[in-house]
Structure 1
Amino acid sequence: MDGQPRIVVTVSSEGVVSAETRGLLGDRCLDYVTVLEDLLAAQTVSSAYTADHARGAATVHREEHDVERA
């Protein structure tokens, strides 16, 4: 993967439309559900999280302390 977030839309031979986000970590993928419903004039029938959701965006917490030695 090239690091760019993507939405992959698939239409089956029966006309069923499915979409999957790739490269969107954590809950960011949820922002696209409504966008896809609007673009496709459709309602979500089922939804599941991908491995990217579980990875989430890493949060780094850094602290620096000055320590006086005796």
Structure 2
Amino acid sequence: MAQKQLVVSIRKDGTVHAETVGMKGQECLDYFAVLEDLLDAEVASSTYTDDYTAVPDGQATAAVQTVGDD
């Protein structure tokens, strides 16, 4: 399992860029909420990576098939 990281960069214009590494699903959103509190700031824009839609480790997916009365 990859180590969980929050990579934060402060740009020359003062804006903050943050990216999560090693997280899947909505877990990353918790880290951004903490960062917003620490910086007393709000996320201006965001982009979800493929990891956002991935299933977190330890969680299973299930395929459900509906069977009709024929």
**Residues 23-34 of structure 1: matches in 2 within 5 Å?**
23-34=22-33
Identity value in percent: 43
Greater C-alpha radius of gyration: 1
Larger helix fraction of residues: 1
Q: Which 5+ residue runs of structure 1 have no aligned equivalent?
A: 62-70
CA RMSD after TM alignment: 1.9
TM-score (norm 1): 0.72
Indicate the SS of the match to 1:30: helix
CA shift, 1:56, in A, is 2.4
Give the count of matched residue pairs.
60
TM-score, length basis structure 2 = 0.72
1:7 aligns with 2:6: yes
Q: Runs of 4+ in structure 1 displaced over 3 angstroms?
A: 58-61
Structure 1 residue 31: Cα displacement:
1.1
Q: Deviations over 1:18-69 (max 9, x none)?
A: 11111111111111121010111111111121221122225347xxxxxxxx
